[in-house]
Amino acid sequence: MGAVTVASDGAAGDSRRDGIERGLAVNMRATMQVATLTPRAQGALRLVARAARGGSVIDTLRTSGSLKALFPRAPGAALQAVFLNTAGGLTGGDRMEVDVAAEAGAHLVVASQAAERAYRAQPGSHAEVTVALRVAAGARIDWLPQETILFEGAALRRRLRVDLAPGGRVLLCEPVIFGRAAMGEVLHAAALRDRWEVWQGGRLIWADALRLEGDIAAHLARAGCGGGAGAMAGLAYGGPDAAALLAPLRALLPPTCGVSLLPDGLLVLRLLMRDGFTLRRALIPVIERLTGAPLPKVWRL
């Protein structure tokens, strides 16, 4: 009887262990699947500026996750905000949301603390950045993040929407570097999707969509695409004085760059340069001409 009992307990124990191991394997696979689907980093920033005391001040500020904001002291009437991503870069699954508004009479300058980096993403995943800017009549927002550097394997999707009231002003600038030339980096497998929209009075007045996927270096080498460029910047400026700025900007731009004046008082610029250094050298005078002021100090550190 004892031997039979022992044999029976042993078989039951083996069966239980097998069941536990199978359960652990299933749980591990499920955990890995959830980890793959869960965003690696999330961040949100909401900022509203209003006019006060002869300048601009913070009316609303809310941050969460890996997006933070600093407010350095700067000369002039504009409120300067510097945002940073404490996650240290972007990769597949990351989600960042920025919502910025300037109320009537306010002037807000928004810059990033440093260049953003888009790193390799897992197959089927991408980083996503959404920016919403709202500019009231008589207000102004200068959106001036520093360069986004794409690394091999990066997958980045960005969307920028501006709601611009008549009589408001907005400056948009987004520089992109396709691999660091000084490090010998060449992008043969990466993806960038970038969409801009400018709305006025509930009407879409301009939209621009960019999609580069796969061998980006080969795409940019084509004469009709990038002409061998390794860096680019898109800019747009909307305001009552846009037409008066067209000729001065054309005088500043190198041959591989262009500017057009669209209806509804909107200037659109595209800069294509060999690398990040030559892009910044061409870009800084253009931004300073459009703002009438030096760039935020973070651009020069």
Cβ-based neighbour number of residue 134 at 10 Å: 20
Handedness of CA 146, 150, 151, 157 (dihedral sign): positive
**Tokens 């990466």 label which residue?**
190
**What pLDDT, on the 0 to 100 scale, is given for residue 182?**
87
Q: Between 117 and 23, whose confidence is greater?
A: 117
Q: What is the mean pLDDT of residues 78-92?
A: 96
- pLDDT, tens digit (0-9, with 9 covering 90-100), for 131-189: 999 999 999 999 999 999 999 999 999 999 999 999 999 999 999 999 998 888 999 99
CB pairs under 8 A, 24+ apart, for 279-282?
279/147, 279/175, 279/177, 279/231, 279/232, 279/233, 280/147, 280/175, 282/253, 282/254, 282/257
Residue 23 has pLDDT above 70, yes or no: no
What value does the mean pLDDT of the chain take? Answer: 89
In DSSP terms, which residues pair with 250 in a beta bridge? none
Find the range with the poorest average confidence among 30-39, 57-66, 152-161.
30-39
Find the range with the poorest average confidence among 36-40, 131-135, 154-158, 214-218.
36-40
Q: How far apart are CA 42 and CA 67, in angstroms?
A: 8
Q: How far apart are CA 22 and CA 8, in angstroms?
A: 21
Contact (Cβ atoms closer than 8 angstroms) between residue 107 and residue 78: yes
Percent of the chain beyond pLDDT 70? 87
Q: Between 18 and 135, whose confidence is greater?
A: 135
State the Cα angle at 222 between 91 and 254, rounded to 5°: 90
Q: What is the mean pLDDT of residues 33-55?
A: 81
Burial per residue of 276-291, b for 16 or more beta-carbon CB atoms within 10 angstroms, e otherwise: bebbbebbeebbeebb
End-to-end CA distance of the chain: 84
Edge-to-edge order in the sheet of strand 190-200: 55-65, 42-52, 95-102, 127-135, 155-164, 190-200, 203-214
- pLDDT, tens digit (0-9, with 9 covering 90-100), for 109-122: 999 999 999 999 99
Q: What is the mean pLDDT of residues 5-34?
A: 49
In DSSP terms, which residues pair with 61 in a beta bridge? 47
**What pLDDT, on the 0 to 100 scale, is given for residue 22?**
57
Q: What is the mean pLDDT of residues 268-279?
A: 96
Longest CA span, the chain: 103
The H or E element spanning position 67 is strand 67-70
**What pLDDT, on the 0 to 100 scale, is given for residue 14?**
56
**What pLDDT, on the 0 to 100 scale, is given for residue 3?**
37
| Confidence grade of residue 75 (pLDDT, cut at 50, 70, 90) | confident
| Confidence grade of residue 38 (pLDDT, cut at 50, 70, 90) | low
Residue 230 has pLDDT above 60, yes or no: yes
Paired tokens of 192: 């960038």
Residue 26 has pLDDT above 50, yes or no: no
**What pLDDT, on the 0 to 100 scale, is given for residue 4?**
33
Q: What is the mean pLDDT of residues 182-200?
A: 95
* Nearest Cα residue to 67 out of 93, 48, 91, 41: 41
